[in-house]
Amino acid sequence: MRPFHAIASLGFAIAAASALPAQQPLAGARPNLLFVFSDDHAAHAISAYGSRINQTPHIDRIADEGALFRANFCGNALCGPSRATILTGLHSHANGFCRNGNVFDGGQPTFPKLLQAAGYQTAIVGKWHLESTPTGFDHWVVLPDQGQYYNPDFLTKAGRVRMPGHATDVTTQLALDWLERRDPAKPFVLMCQHKAPHRNWLPAPADLGAFRGRDLPEPATLFDAYDNRLPARAHTEMEIARHLTLHYDLMVPPTPAEAPTLADLDRAYGQQRARMDDAQRAAWDAAFAAEDEAFRRENPQGRERVRWMYQRYMKNYLRCVHGVDRSVGALLAWLDAHPDVKANTLVVYSSDQGFFLGEHGWYDKRWMDDECLRMPLVMRWPGRIAAGREVAQLTQNIDFAPTFLELAGVPTPRGVHGRSLVPLLAGEPPADWRDAIYYHYYESQATHRVPAMYGVRTASHKLVRYYEPGVDGWELFDLVRDPDELRSVADDPAYEGVRRELTAKLVALRTQYGDDTGELLPARFPQSAGVTRIVAVDGGYRLWANAPGGWAVRPQALGQRFEVTTTLRPLPGKPQQNGFVVLAAAGSADGSVGADPARWRAGIEFGAKQLVVLGPMGGKARWAGALPWDGQAAVALRIAVDLARRELVAEAAGVRVTAPLPTGFPGFAALGLGASNAETHFTEIAVR
Ligand code: SGN
Ligand code: CA
């Protein structure tokens, strides 16, 4: 813990600040930027933030010698989206990267690109996770996708290279090597981005000894029953008890009897081990053998088993954090050895979002709960940022880019959502600083099954709207009385005024940031997945599916023979368009369309100029015909189904594709629109 926390009274803070020599100006000073970033590192696993479970002396040192942001949050608690926001200063809907698996548009302005143009040397090493090739970096060596912990492959300008060692150590070394070889005449941006402590938590051999022989305290809500909140919380698939896997997540070796029967993620246990070399595997086995044996012998059940799993999960997570903290120590030591560089370098430590460390019985993130909404943020710049400064204002990852740009004296592009933190670093918070932050999470019906939501958080309250059909609802939390967010007061009459006030703030923020995503026209399309916006325009719909195979449908009686028609219109400036009429097969369990109905899609891939029919399960059955079409004009699409002939025929621009329906096909019971990672305009579907 930092010594100031217990006595952080305003008077003390002012006294401490006034004892310092006059600070030099920050804006336009063109410091170097050493941006150390990790993945899923919750602030409550950092001792500077008062962690109850671990010590992070090197990260704490940044805070002690500089500033600590008490109320810093992400705008979308997921890896890719947070990174895209940091680069652009824009919330997800505006930078186009709403969920993992989207492809970052590297053509848009980013802070590294703007600093590069202003004479900085720019480099990124480690996790990237934005799919497209990094732009704006003179030097990049990045992990493909999530990357591997042991002996990871890296993508470089010269191709894919496997590097021996643990990802955290290798990434640190890549950063140190670049610091040594950079051009000392130019200021630099170095983004050192760790994979750790991301799932599945595989610490480096050097950190395996930490937390041995003692139990970590459990969070008060390890056994949460999810009462008094959105019912969908109980269906989230991130419970330690039910979803954390013994072999893949906790690396307990399967017994010979278990080995051939491993399911799902657990099958990757062997692949994880196979990546280790003999010495690494031996270190791993030596560290865990006794503990694993005791677990097998005692074979705890029920709550005792959850407690055991919590300990193993948390210790491995914290061992990964230990490695990240060691990395910070190595980078700070390099700066200590290069005092001229140190004096002119802003060191930042942060992580893409927080994480549930057993709270509510969970791991992972995505919800707007503080555990994962909060991002740690500490910054040091000797002589420029007063040591021990605490920033209490509400700040967000949209603010990072404008801050770095202002420090470099580069104007922030118009329309950027964030605001420079420079005045807060200088201890001069503007009177009109924001009183609420905005959040929007999109990756629903994907891994962990967290519904899409948007919301607002002030210093004292949080209002969240879940907008998907079937999950439609609100939560309101009083963060002062209920800091663990265990009881939504959305429908409590005592909070009517608060709810009204926060709703107004939410509407105002959505207007301010121009976010009209999260509107799905549920009255017309009562079921949808992977769709982030449907707008009724020009007698039809503009549909933005930001997932592969996103769809929105309504139940509809469709007979033995029918024909549907619509016209698809390419939208200007949207190169990746496509659009489909979606037909869902009858007979899903409750007569409605389930989460994964047997869907047939017939439509157009604009870029490829193809007429496509996709059977259930997407690519497993696929027919395509090349369209003679300029790719610009609107195209009429006709789909005719004849159940007696077991035939689905799609037709557009004079091209016809016929797809056989399987024997015993039950017919179609729902109809709607779809797209894959694209936004497209459709006219109203006509059925005959
Ligand atoms: C993987 C993880 C998930 C995690 C996502 C997103 N599963 O899919 O648990 O939520 O990444 O994480 S794993 O089995 O592959 O570890 S993110 O930080 O990249 O957004
Ligand atoms: Ca992450």
Give the pLDDT confidence of 260-281 residue by residue, as tens digits.
999 999 999 999 999 999 999 9
CA distances, 641 to each of 183, 647, 660 (Å)? 66, 6, 10
Q: Is 371 in the pocket of ligand 1 (CB under 6 A)?
A: no
Give the number of the ligand closest to the Cα of residue 86: 2
- Average pLDDT on 64-72 reads 98
291 CB-contact burial (10 Å; exposed 0-12 / middle 13-18 / buried 19+): middle
From CA 311, how far away is CA 342, in angstroms rounded? 39
Residue matched to tokens 């594709």: 657
pLDDT range class, residue 589, cuts 50, 70, 90: very low
Q: Is 74 in the pocket of ligand 1 (CB under 6 A)?
A: no
From CA 320, how far away is CA 317, in angstroms rounded? 5
From CA 74, how far away is CA 91, in angstroms rounded? 9
- Average pLDDT on 34-42 reads 98
Which one is predicted more confidently, 453 or 538?
453
Under 8 Å between Cβ of 170 and 323: no
- Average pLDDT on 328-354 reads 98
Ligand 1 atom, smallest distance to 79 CA: 20
pLDDT range class, residue 598, cuts 50, 70, 90: low
Instruction: Render pLDDT for 359-406 as a digit per residue (tens, 0 to 9).
Output: 999 999 999 999 999 999 999 999 999 999 999 999 999 999 999 999
- Average pLDDT on 91-105 reads 95
Provide the pLDDT for residue 665.
83
Provide the pLDDT for residue 53.
98
- Average pLDDT on 293-318 reads 98
Provide the pLDDT for residue 586.
82
Residue matched to tokens 């949050």: 73
Under 8 Å between Cβ of 324 and 168: yes
| Residue 1 scores a pLDDT above 60 | no
Q: Whose CA is nearest to atom 19 of ligand 1?
A: 79
| Residue 574 scores a pLDDT above 90 | no
Provide the pLDDT for residue 13.
40
Q: Is 338 in the pocket of ligand 1 (CB under 6 A)?
A: no
Question: What are the DSSP calls for 386-450, one per residue?
Answer: -TTEEEEEEEEGGGHHHHHHHHTT-PPPTT------HHHHTT---TT--S-EEEEE--TTSTT-P
User: HSE (CB half, 13 Å, CA atoms) of 446?
Assistant: 18
Of 371-385, 530-544, 580-594, 645-659, which gets the smallest average pLDDT?
A: 580-594
Instruction: Render pLDDT for 173-200 as a digit per residue (tens, 0 to 9).
Output: 999 999 999 999 999 999 999 999 999 9
Q: Output the CA 198–ligand 2 centroid distance in Å.
A: 7
From CA 173, how far away is CA 514, in angstroms rounded? 41
- Average pLDDT on 303-322 reads 98
Which helix H or strand E contains 298, and what residues bound it? Answer: helix 278-298
Provide the pLDDT for residue 618.
55
Which of 128, 146, 271 has the most ligand 1 atoms within 8 A of CB, as the residue to mutate? Answer: 146
289 CB-contact burial (10 Å; exposed 0-12 / middle 13-18 / buried 19+): exposed
Give me 105's structure tokens.
């548009």
Provide the pLDDT for residue 23.
65
Of 153-157, 232-236, 442-446, which gets the smallest average pLDDT?
A: 442-446
| Residue 47 scores a pLDDT above 60 | yes
Q: Whose CA is nearest to atom 20 of ligand 1?
A: 79
Which of 100, 104, 367 has the most ligand 1 atoms within 8 A of CB, as the residue to mutate? Answer: 100
Q: Compute the 3-state secondary structure of the chain and give helix, strand, coil in percent, each to the nearest 5.
A: 25, 25, 45
